[in-house]
Amino acid sequence: MSATMPPPRGSSLQISLDSPGPSRQPSPSPLPPLPDPLLDEADEDADRELFLRRQKEYTDLERSVEVASAELLTSLAGYLTTFQDNLGEVSGQISDLQARSDEIERELKGRRVILPPLNALLSDLIIPTSLVLTIRDTEPSANPQMWLQAIAELEDKMGAVKSRGAKVKGARELESLVDALALKALHYLPPFLLTLIRPLRSASKGLSTNLAVMQTSLLLKYQPFYAFLLRQSPRHAKQVERGYVNAARAYFETGIRRYARALGLIRARAPDKSDLIGVVGTDEKPPKAMYARLQYADLDGEGESEAAVVLAYQADDPNYALPVEAVFRSLGLVVLDNASAEFTFLVRFFARSALRRGPEDSPLDSPVLGPASDAGRSRLSTHARLTPDPELRDAERIWHEVLDSGLESATALFKDCVATQPPAIPLLTMIRANDRLISIAEGRGALPLIPYLTGWKMTLWPLYRKAMDAHIESLRALANEAEGRGLAGVFGKGVKDSAVRVVAVRYAALFACVVALSDESEEAMMFSNMTRLRAELTRLVQIQAGKMKDLPARHSFLSSIYEAVMHELVAGPGAPTHPRLQSELSFFRTREEEARRRIAAQ
């Protein structure tokens, strides 16, 4: 077949290419001439004949193409069918895999649920080799820190094994092992703890050992050992407790006895003389000497001042002497610091609870044979109050076993101090110091000490009332003497005006001291005695003034006495704004003004 077909005959289409139109531009080269129509027909006939000759070839080619296409389509259909079958098989496998994946996911979720308790079980049942080797092959003294960790771990394992023994066979099989390790620990720990306490029992090193440092740096550091003994074998814990009680009792008994003996020597060098207000002697001391002794009611004096706690070695100085209230103050502070520190330690070390504390919270230094430190007054104050009652009972029992014998020496010194009736103001100073001791003991939680201090207070108050009654009786006797009663009146011995003035100033100084030492809860009792004393003083002054025949001289005497009383009341240590002091000033001011008016009226 020819690729070029001639135009059909009779075609009327004519294209003129030779003559361009008026609007066309001439082409650069003329087109080739069209073929002749007659020639085209000849070619067409030739082509037709050629086609007819090859018709069979074309037909065979078409048939072969149809056969090949059919075979190809058949093959393709087979492939598609196979692919579809394979795809269905793969889809089924994917479904199986998805189902398997879901099943595995469910199994994983189940294992995730049991994994934590399983890990906990394995952790509880696995006993580290280091734990076994530490307890089996070493002793606490060789590596105490390692033993602290080992004991804590062993106790955890013991609790875990016992709690799981009912359900887990492996735990029951481990019970014998942990029990053997516990027995080994019970064999080593009591001797180790008793070794720490041994220096207190030494006759040569006992008092030279700083008990507070031992408690802080050693005993409290290894308190977990005692706690382990207490929980696992109370019999072994009791052995350690007895060892500590015996050593500490000897330590405190010796220390407090020696300190009390030193204070007794110092006290004996300054015996108190009678200072009855109605007895006027030649060696009259100024009121300032009495005022200076009021500082011993304050427990905060430190350093080189006279209010500092007395050191035992100061008794070696034969010229060193202190008044009774200073001795009482030093004794009270030493007893307070040692007793409260010991009770705090006992509560923390021998406690039954599982409470763990560091050495930094330990009791502070106790001043046996030494002064109370600033730190001694800032001791832990709430621990004992937060401790359950069983712990307190155990701690109180041990405290009494440790300190009762030592406190007997302190109480003996106290009784010796008050055996000879001290003056009223020193007694009141001791009462106030004792009240502050009780307050501090309550704040520190030193519960067993409070009954001792309260007993001292109950001893001091009757003595104070007795001293005040003696003042009143002496002043009444002086007023009777001025009135001419008794033997003095019979023999013609009267009371001098100067003696009355001395007595008036003494009264004012006594009243100012009572105001300075007054306590709101006890004011009624304290100032009732002062009211009785003032009545006797007023009576004495009136009797003495009544002896003067000259009225101006009489009123001038009264005015001078009342003025001296007011001056001393203001100059004394009592707070000027105290209501009782203001009332007393008003009482004497009224009488002094009345005396002045009468002088002016003459």
Quick one: pLDDT at residue 412? 95
Considering the domain architecture, whether residues 381 and 496 belong to the same structural domain is answered as no
- In the numeric block, which tokens belong to residue 442? 């309550």
In this structure, are 507 and 541 located in the same domain?
yes
* Cβ burial, residue 103 (10 Å; 0-12/13-18/19+): exposed
C-alpha 581: how far from chain center = 42
Specify whether 474 is located in the same domain as 340: yes
As a whole number of angstroms, the distance between CA 430 and CA 417 comes to 11
- 518 and 590 belong to one structural domain: yes
Q: Give dist(CA 341, CA 338) in Å, integer.
A: 5
Domain that holds residue 195: 129-232
CA–CA distance, 581 with 588 (Å, rounded to integer): 11
What is the number of structural domains in the chain?
4
Please indicate, yes or no, whether residues 402 and 416 belong to a single structural domain of this protein: yes
**Of 232, 252, 270, which residue constitutes the final position of a domain?**
232
Q: Would 253 be classed as within a structural domain? A: no
Is residue 594 included in any domain, yes or no? Answer: yes
Please report whether residue 598 resides in a domain: yes
Does residue 285 sit in the same domain as residue 429? Answer: yes
- The Cα-based distances of 532 to 36, 465, 525, 526, 535 in angstroms read 172, 12, 11, 11, 5
Q: Domain check: are 87 and 190 in the same one?
A: no
With respect to residue 415, please indicate whether it lies within any of the assigned structural domains.
yes
Give me the residue label for tokens 């050593």: 247
What are the helix (H) ranges across 269-292? 287-292
Which of 451, 467, 483 terminates a domain? The answer is: 483
Residues 418 and 513 in one domain: no
Looking at the structure, do residues 171 and 297 belong to the same domain, yes or no? no
Q: Does residue 314 belong to any structural domain of this protein? A: yes
pLDDT at 389: 65
List the chain residues with pLDDT less than 70.
Answer: 1-39, 124, 165-167, 170-171, 202-207, 282-283, 301-307, 353-391, 485-493, 602
240-251 pLDDT per residue, tens? 999 999 999 999
Comparing CA positions, the residue from 509, 531, 507, 539 lying closest to residue 580 is 531
What residues contact residue 135 under an 8 Å CB cut-off, 6+ apart?
Answer: 147, 150, 154, 181, 184, 185, 188
Last residue of a domain, one of 483, 513, 530: 483
Domain co-membership, 295 together with 329: yes
CA distances from 44 to 6, 36, 47, 133 (A): 7, 13, 5, 117
> What are 312-356's pLDDT values in tens digits?
899 999 999 999 999 999 999 999 999 999 999 999 998 775 444
pTM of the predicted model over 0.85: no
Token pair in block for residue 18: 């030779």
* Mean pLDDT over the full length of the chain: 82
**One domain, residues 347 and 473:** yes
518, 580 Cβ separation under 8 angstroms: yes
- Does residue 241 sit within a domain? no
Task: Answer yes or no: do 108 and 167 share one domain.
Answer: no
Residue 20 domain-assigned?
no
Structural domain contains residue 248? no
